[in-house]
Chain A
Amino acid sequence: MTKNQTSDSVRPIASRRRFLRDGGALMGGALAGSLAGGEAVAAEPGAENLPPNVPEWMKSPGDPMGSQLYGTPSPFEKNVVKNIPKNLKQYISASGRTPLQDLDGIITPNGLFYERHHGGVPTIDPAQHRLMLHGLVDRPLIFTMDDIRRFPSQSRIHFLECSGNPVYTKPYGKTASDLVGLLSCAEWTGVSLKLVLQEAGLQAGAKWVIAEGADAAALTRSVPIEKCLDDAMLVYSQNGERLRPQQGYPLRLLLPGFEGNMNVKWLRRLRVAAEPTYSREETSKYTDLMPDGTAREFTFYMEAKSIITRPSGGQRLDMPGFREITGIAWSGHGKIKRVDISVDDGKSWQEAELQEPVLTRALTRFRLPWHWDGKPAVIQSRATDETGYVQPTLAELLGVRGNNHFYHNNAIWPWLIAADGEVTNAAA
């Protein structure tokens, strides 16, 4: 354990000791006060820090500069962490979710970005990492990371979402994170893939680019050349710092709006080809089974979707009154055009306010002021993107795709607010 971590963990303990020491006297005082005043005043924990008293953290200097060389959240936020399913069969090929209901804005902190790995997280020395570009090109090339960073760079904000987010069948998740937490959004910095392909010179017949990761799964996906020459990027930084190992350090492919699995991490090889490679991932896994036994293949785009993150499952409204309803919307096909919200179980809908900036293939934050009257209510959001596509209901999706579809579930998800304020999944 480092000195910095020690400092973090000791402070709350010290505070708790002070509370235990002072709490008895305070409780006694509060009791006396309530007897004298004739009204019941509950003694709040930590009341010695509340008005009219001077808080303890103003009475002595805080941590010195340099006590944390890489900043971490307040110890009081220790429960805001990745949502890792318990009791999985194994954790080498597994996923961890972003706690969407605990976040604001549209940018996911790097430490809370969702993860999906098929062979664990490799530890790669960037000095020993190489990107090989070969196949239907005039000049097969090998790049170091320094080489990649010499290309003209660009930064763009895009979401990334796993296509199995969530599956179509019960049990449905309890929280927004359980349901659609395989979703995050970041500012990505790297080089346009088009520039790198042009460096090697595309040959006639180049229709696909096969991307391979340097992980223990050597994960492989085929990407149509149109996407590679459009907005695809080779990314080395995320929210201003180098990629996290869980996100593909030192280099990943980013295909804005395409299912997460195609955004190959730890990218080591690009092979330009006339045909897809028909890898295990793109044949036996990320294909969508229909009720008649056929399966859709190469289903790349993530369609428009939204979810209310506050109030949402697992939260509790402590009293009736004003509540802001807020959440996030996104579409693999471009910008979010509008989000409608229903607070009466889908009988009527009203348009939410969209927070600027509204960006292509990025999360968009929406808001609606609301007054909760204390009666049971079902609230839900419905996104429309710039193509005019409207987010469907789960029933509409199941009606076309059936229960076996597994991937690309972009259903509207309603939350039930009970009379006691408890919020649960209305479809569960």
Chain B
Amino acid sequence: MRPRDAGIAALALLALASASQAQAPSHYGIGRPATPAEIAGWNIDIDRDGNNLPSGSGSVAQGHEIFDAQCSACHGAKGEGGLGDQLVGGQGTLATAKPVRTVGSYWPYATTLFDYIRRAMPQNAPQSLSNEEVYAVSAYVLNLNGLLPADATLDAAKLKTIKMPNRGMFVGDPRPDVKNPACMSGC
């Protein structure tokens, strides 16, 4: 038994003894403390406000090079899609018979782009890009969608300011939204 466990177990026994009957302990003394360094190493979550975005930056031009080398095989030379999702275009199609959901037409938050590329892309080698490279690729995908100038450089502060075109189009869950009258005969 580790020292922390032993201490908590002893406390729990004391608590049980004083209560004079069996009760579930308020906690079990299971697990060990997670250190700030361990948490920092694993916590790669970026929320919609850009909290936890790392330092560093990357330019559209750098992102173009990385995209050509590591992304275009699946997503197309200009993000038009292929083996992987279409990333560009589709604006104005969401309310039509053929909606095209892309980063530019559908994604509500630009910060999610950094989060997702860093954790899951490229598919054959996720978490292999440096933070600078992730900023650069994010910048290029935003540029392809007309959301960042070609000479721009992206960092945490800049990424937080980018407002995605479809930002205001998400609503809550209104279900149950469909009613079946449950007819039994003569339907």
Contact = CB atoms under 8 A, between A and B. Distances in A.
Interface of A: 89-90, 92-93, 118-119, 132-134, 139-143, 147, 150-152, 195, 198-201, 210, 212, 216-220, 268-269, 271, 273, 275-280, 283-284, 287, 289-301, 303, 340, 342, 346-349, 382, 384, 389-393, 396-397, 399-401, 403-404, 408, 412
Interface centre among A273, A284, A300, A346 (most CB of B within 10 A): A284
A278 B180 contact: no
Nearest to A274: B47
Given A279-B116, A400-B178, A403-B97, A147 B173 contact: no
A138 B156 CA distance: 29
Interface residues of B, number: 59
Given A216-B123, A396-B179, A396-B180, A142 B33 contact: yes
B180 A391 contact: yes
A322 B67 CA distance: 63
B121 to A, nearest CB: 9
A89 B75 CA distance: 12
Contacts of B39: 132, 134, 140
A412 B106 CA distance: 30
B43 A271 contact: yes
A133 B180 contact: no
A342 B184 CA distance: 9
B33 A139 contact: yes
Given A289-B99, A303-B175, A277 B45 contact: yes
A396 B178 contact: yes
A15 B150 CA distance: 71
Interface stretch (B15-23, B54-62, B141-149, B164-172): B164-172
A401 B179 CA distance: 12
A216 B34 contact: no
B41 to A, nearest CB: 10
Contacts of B112: 278-280, 283-284
A299 B173 contact: yes
Contacts of A289: 94, 99, 101
Contacts of B83: 89-90
A347 to B, nearest CB: 5
Contact of B187 (A287, A296, A349): A349
A219 B30 CA distance: 26
Interface in B26-68: 26-28, 30-34, 38-39, 42-49
Given A271-B43, A298-B173, A141 B184 contact: no
A301 B99 CA distance: 24
Contacts of A294: 169-171
Contacts of B72: none
Interface string B149-187: 000000000000000000001111111111111111111
Contact of B184 (A147, A348, A393, A400): A348
Main secondary structure of the interface of B (DSSP, over half): loop
A120 to B, nearest CB: 9
Main secondary structure of the interface of A (DSSP, over half): loop
A362 to B, nearest CB: 20
B123 A93 contact: yes
Nearest to A120: B123
Contact of A150 (B30, B185, B186): B30
Contact of B47 (A201, A278, A346): A278
Contact of A280 (B27, B115, B172): B115
A210 B45 contact: yes
Contact of B170 (A92, A295, A382, A401): A295
Given A118-B120, A276-B47, A348-B187, 4 more contacts: A119-B126, A199-B31, A273-B47, A280-B112
Contacts of B94: 289, 293, 295, 404
Nearest to A141: B31
20 contacts: A119-B120, A132-B42, A140-B39, A200-B31, A219-B120, A269-B43, A275-B48, A277-B46, A277-B115, A287-B170, A294-B169, A300-B173, A346-B187, A382-B180, A382-B182, A396-B179, A396-B180, A401-B177, A401-B178, A412-B180
